[in-house]
């Protein structure tokens, strides 16, 4: 079997059997390929002026349920009470192609300088996720004002 065929078939096989450890394959022209099916590489996208700061973000594969779980912890950096915030998670495959968007919200009251955490799950039908981003997209305040990304 050619090495390039192994690079394609082996990660798929490992995913199907529920492998959660890292696999390192070195291709002739592609350098080192790191495939990790349990924990995704994550990044937070911070918008200018956003009153909520994401202080922790995790994304992982729930192999028993065949879902991706996105979990974050945020802090209200404004002087106003937040009554709802919306967030967005974008999952990408190993090539950087978007495979899914997950939208979530929290309507827990979030007082100034207090934190909140939550998790959102979704079945992933459109390929294997490798990395993900999280961002806050909308915020509603107790006084009726809103913030939009």
What pLDDT digit, counting tens, does each position of 120-143 carry?
887 765 557 778 899 999 999 999
**83 and 30 part of one domain:** no
Predicted TM-score of the model (pTM): 0.69
CB 87 within 8 Å of CB 137: yes
Do 75 and 94 belong together in one domain? yes
Domain containing residue 75: CATH number: 2.60.40.3230
Are 98 and 28 part of one and the same domain?
no
pLDDT in tens, 6-59: 444 544 544 444 443 333 333 343 333 334 445 567 888 888 899 999 999 988
**The two three-digit tokens of residue 10, written as one number:** 């082996």
Domain assignment of residue 25, given as a range: 1-37
Residues 45 and 12 in one domain: no
Residue in the structure block whose two tokens are 């919200």: 105
Same domain, 88 and 135: yes
């Amino acid at each position: 079997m050619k090495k390039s065929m192994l690079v394609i078939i082996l990660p798929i096989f490992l995913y199907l059997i529920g492998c959660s450890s890292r696999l390192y394959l070195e291709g002739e022209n592609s350098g080192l390929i790191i495939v990790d099916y349990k924990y995704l590489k994550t990044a937070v996208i911070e918008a200018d002026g956003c009153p909520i700061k994401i202080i922790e973000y995790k994304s992982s594969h729930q192999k028993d349920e065949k879902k991706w779980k996105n979990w974050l912890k945020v802090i209200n950096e404004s002087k106003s009470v937040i009554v709802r915030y919306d967030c967005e998670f974008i999952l990408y495959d190993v090539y950087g192609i978007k495979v899914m968007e997950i939208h979530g919200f929290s309507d827990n009251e979030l007082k100034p300088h207090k934190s909140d955490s939550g998790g959102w799950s979704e079945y992933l039908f459109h390929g294997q996720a490798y990395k993900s981003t999280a961002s806050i997209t909308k915020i509603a305040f107790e006084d009726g004002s809103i913030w939009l990304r």
